Structures are given as structure tokens and as C-alpha cells.
Structure 1
């Protein structure tokens, strides 16, 4: 009897262990499937996982990105639309580097994604780096214009006080520089390193921008 009792207890413990581990294994598999589907625009898989109750705001381990951020970055249009309209989706989740979906869409020049995110309520202005910084750095003028029209702060300040104008000047995007200046960007403002937009352009050898900004600063009596 004691031996039989011990055997029964061992079987019960094994059944309990299996019951505990199986959901964890299933969840781990679903986790991987979710991010693979986001990368490969597998909207059927995404919809299936969401229907089974998977959190649309899951964060992957390598970069701390959500499925929505990955979909924007990889150009997975169908998955992006599915996640954008998923129940309880959080548009403001940030990856480990501080990027969110709107910022990535702005940098990639994905006008449609930017429009949809804004229509869904994504925040145009936020502390630290903004979508406008990213659009300006990439020279995506249509995105810059759209963000400004939606109330983006043209002089938004990064953690070290760098502005979108400085980013555009440093990357050599002369038309973006002009657009930002026309919309009220402050030319003489400096970041924490004591650099203004003219310095950014000069350090990177963008002579046409240097000439234009020098003229503007002289005309304003700030040089």
C-alpha cells in the first residue's frame, strides 16, 4: 500500500508539473509567433493570436519593441493596421532606445502610418525626442509639414536641448531647414554643447546651409 501510495503521489506531481509547464510553453511559442508575424506581415497569424487573447502590447526582448513598432519599421502594412485597431493597443509604448511607433513612422517617411497614428490619437508632442526630430533628421518634408499642422512644437527640445532645426541642418536637408524656419524655428538657440543649427551644418560640411543660416543670423543681428 505505501509503495502504491507513493507512486500515486508521483503521478499527481507529474500531472501538476505538466499542467503548469504546458501553458508557459504555449505562451512562449505564441510570443515568438507574434513577433515573427509582425516582421513578416502575417496578418492572419496576428489576428488569430489576438483572438486567443494575446496582449497586443507585448514587448520583444532584444530591442524592447512592440509588434506595432516592428510592423512600422519592417513595412508590415496589414499587421500594422490590425494592431492599430486592436483592443487596448497602446500607441505610446517606447522601445528601449526611446522610440515609439509614430517616431519610427516619421523617420521612415511612412505618410500613411503617420496619418493613421495621429488619427488614432498618437501624441505629437512628448518629452525628449519627438517624431518631428526624426522627420527633420530624415528630411521627410511632407511628414514635417503634417506634424506641424497637427501642433508639433517646432522648437521641441531633446534631452540635450537639440531641436529639429539642428537635426535637419546637421543632416544637410536644406528644404527641411527652410520649412522649419518658415514655421518659426529659432535659429540662434543652442543645445547643451553650445551648438546651434549653423554649427551643426558647419561641422558636417553643408556649405549651402551654412551660407543661408549665416545670412539669416546677420540679418537678424545675431551674428
Structure 2
């Protein structure tokens, strides 16, 4: 050994041994990768992510490819896995500390890419990993709006619960761009066909204005009113005609029929609303395949109420009762429970909203003469005691006046013109007020309690909770109900969730 310690001799050979061994391992890894169809490059790393090939991802990262490496566009392999719907690859990358909300091309996160190109299952997985559904891309679009722009109606159900206050905005955009599958999905999860732009345009008007025939048909089928007016008194047919869509304008410009002028009572609308909700619930399962919906506590039949809320209640059954005076009992079990109100204090879900606009509008009154704008018929002057003109009109003016009234949107007391009309067919009367959209009835909601029972609710109704607390419905809007707990002085907001939300 020439007097040299063995350890010193081995130390001198260590760099050589490592160099030889490392080179051998690298060559071995490259051969294994080549056998699998990859080389040791970032491009191969992305291809493995898009193929859900975790074994290749492990070899590539073990041999120097960083987990957060980016392609020329600025995306990571997590973006690639998300767009391809590859959960195992996404899981591998997240485990190696690639941030779930890492931004790439156009400032988009993997969740956004999954919404645009991936699968609902991948979107659901990323959300379960705390991906942020409220982040915006470089153009200011959140995931929900990206789903609208890409026509991905299948993504709406995954995102609706995270962005409920933007569902109406999303519906307006979907109507504008003619995304009929998105329109269908959005309204099933709580967007309202009664939504309006700042200038009074409805989804139907936007679709008509842009010649979106399929979207127009979809909106009419789910309850949009062809005779609603914007701030200038135009209806959907007017907007189609102004934009050069004459054939569509002719389809929309049917003369208002007798039932369009009919005054209705909220209690009359319960069976109709419930039938539509049940029809949509039966069309798409609301429980995972491994769960029998009949076993869920909120699907159990309730005496006097038909069956459960989701698919068991016969469409031809009795109309739901009014909410007034009802005692709402707590649910027997929270397992599989449907959504409750915002703070969970009242087990109510708003399933549907109904508002039928009359095909006319009050402009002003002078003496005993009312100036009215009739849908498709221009401006007419009608004297007290006369019938409102129009084919099929059954409304008679019984009183006109001017008075001061507190209008919420006007910010205080404002002088308004008032026209009281009477339905000659049923004797019902209703005040129509300038500046307020004239409707055939008070706005109503179909609500569902924690036991799957359905009720019709309107502003002013009072009811009690199981603990004895007194409640009053203070407002019913297209996208929410507002309820006051009068016992505790608390306000509860119950959002519209739609039949599937």
C-alpha cells in the first residue's frame, strides 16, 4: 500500500467511481425512456404529462427535468395535464410542489385550462385541491366566463356554486354569443332568464339582436318573455329587425294573445313551476351513481306533500301550498343534505322564480288619460273606463292617478304615474306604475324545505322556524329571496340554485 491508508486511496478513486456510475445510470435511464418512447427533454416531460405516464414523469424528474419546467408558451406540465384531463399526472406534479394556481400563457391557471379543454372530473379534482375559481386570466376572465366563451356547458355545474353572484352576467354573455348549451346549464343552476343589462336588455333581446336563432329558441323554451321591453320600449323583435335579422324578427313579433294580458295569482303558479323543476331534475341525476336517491333523507316521502324533492314527486300532483304560516322543521340528518340558506338558519332552497311581464308599459297619465306603450303596437292614449287596445287584450283601465312613491332604484320618493287595470275575465285588479316593469302578478319563488316539501313564496309572507322564531319574506328577486328573522333582527339571503344547483 506504499504506506498510504486504505481510506485515502479509496477517497482518491471516489470521483472516478461516481463519474462512471452516474454516467451508467444516466445511460440506463435514457435507454428506459427511449424504450417508452421518450427522450430526456422538456418536450418529452410535457408529453408524458398529457399521457398520464407517471413512470416516465418519475424518470424524467429523477434525471434533471424540473417539475415546474415551462414550455415556450410559458405553461407548466400541470397545465398540460389539466387540459388533457390527466389526474394521475396532475397529482404527481402537485406532490412535487408545482402550485395548483401557477399561471402560464395568457395568465391562465391549470383550472382555467381544464375548463377550456379538459374534463369536468379534472375541474372537480383541481377545485378539491384548492384551485381558486375566482382568479382572472390576463384578459380579466374567471373560469366561469371562460366556460361560457368556450361553450362548455358541461363545466357550469362544477363552477356555479363558487360564482353564484355572476351567473346572470354569464347568462347575458352566453345569450349574446349564442351558446345554447351554456344557457341551458346556467339556468339549471340558478341563472335567471329575467336578468337585465343596465339598459334593460334581457338575454332574449341580446340573442335576437345578434341573430342567435338557437339561443332564442332555448330562451323562449325556458320561459323568456318575448314582450319584455328595454329602457327605450323595444322588444326582442324590434332589436332583431334593427340588426337586419328580419326573419327572426317575424318569428318573435307574434301579436300578444289573450293569456299574455291575464292577471294571475301567485298561488296559481305553484303547480306549473314545480312541474318544470321536476322535469329538469328527472332529466339529470343529482346523486352520485353509487348512491340511491331514494335513500337520501331529503327524498323521503312526506305525508300530504307527494314524494321527495328530486324526481319522486309526480308532475301531476297537487300544487304546492303557500309558505305563509308554515312551520319549517329541521332536517333529520345532514348526510346528503341539499344546500341551505346562506347562514344555515332556515333550511330553504330557492328552486325557481316566476315573473310574467305584461305586454305594455305605463308612460304617463294626465287627468283621466293614460299614455301606454303597447308591445308591437306603439304608444296609445287610453281613457279611464276603456279597454286597453290590442288583439286579445282583456284589461280595462279602472283608475289613473299621480302620486309620490318610494322607488328603490330611484333612490327615494319620486312622482309616478299609476294605472289600475282589471282583468275582465277573472275580475282581478292590479296597479301598474311608471318606471316599474308591469307584471301580471307579484314575483314568486318556488322554495324547498329541508324535508323536500315545496312551497310558493312571495314578499310579505310570514312563517315560523321550528325553534319558534318568526320570519318574513321581505323581497323575492330573480336570483334570490331575502328573509328577515324578526325574532332576532337578522337578514338571511337565499340564492336561486335552480333544479340542479
For the superposition of Structure 1 and Structure 2, which TM-score range results when normalised by the shorter chain? Answer: 0.5 to 0.7
Higher helix share: 1
Question: Which structure 2 residue ranges, 5 or more long, are not aligned?
Answer: 1-29, 31-38, 230-356, 358-435, 439-501
Shift of 1:176: 2.0
- RMSD between aligned alpha carbons? 3.6
Structure 1 counterpart SS, 2:166: coil
**In structure 2, do the counterparts of structure 1 residues 102 and 200 end up closer, same or farther at CA, with 3 Å as the change threshold?**
farther
| 8 Å Cα contact 1:136-1:176 kept in structure 2 | no
**In structure 2, do the counterparts of structure 1 residues 79 and 200 end up closer, same or farther at CA, with 3 Å as the change threshold?**
farther
Residues of 2 paired with 1:69 and 1:185: CA distance?
A: 35
Point out the structure with max Rg over C-alpha: 2
Residues of 1 paired with 2:88 and 2:216: CA distance?
A: 42
TM-score, normalised with respect to structure 2: 0.32
Residues of 1 paired with 2:227 and 2:114: CA distance?
A: 32
Matching residue of 1:6:
none
Structure 2 counterpart SS, 1:65: coil
1:207 maps to 2:220: no
Shift of 1:215: 4.6
| 8 Å Cα contact 1:34-1:49 kept in structure 2 | yes
**Cα-to-partner distance string for 1:163-210 (whole Å, 9 max, x where unaligned):** 421343221224124235x3568721369xx98644542212222145
Matching residue of 1:131:
143
Question: Which structure 1 residue ranges, 5 or more long, are not aligned?
Answer: 1-25, 158-162
**In structure 2, do the counterparts of structure 1 residues 65 and 213 end up closer, same or farther at CA, with 3 Å as the change threshold?**
farther
Residues of 1 paired with 2:193 and 2:102: CA distance?
A: 28
Q: Structure 1 residue aligned with 2:59, among 39, 48, 58? A: 48
**In structure 2, do the counterparts of structure 1 residues 42 and 177 end up closer, same or farther at CA, with 3 Å as the change threshold?**
closer
Residues of 1 paired with 2:204 and 2:64: CA distance?
A: 52
Residues of 1 paired with 2:102 and 2:160: CA distance?
A: 22
| 8 Å Cα contact 1:72-1:101 kept in structure 2 | yes
Shift of 1:117: 0.7
Residues of 2 paired with 1:153 and 1:166: CA distance?
A: 14
Matching residue of 1:68:
78
| 8 Å Cα contact 2:167-2:186 kept in structure 1 | no
Higher strand share: 2
Matching residue of 1:93:
102
1:164 maps to 2:170: yes
**In structure 2, do the counterparts of structure 1 residues 29 and 54 end up closer, same or farther at CA, with 3 Å as the change threshold?**
closer
Shift of 1:123: 0.2
Matching residue of 1:155:
166
| 8 Å Cα contact 1:59-1:67 kept in structure 2 | yes
- Kindly tell me the number of residue pairs found equivalent between the two proteins: 184
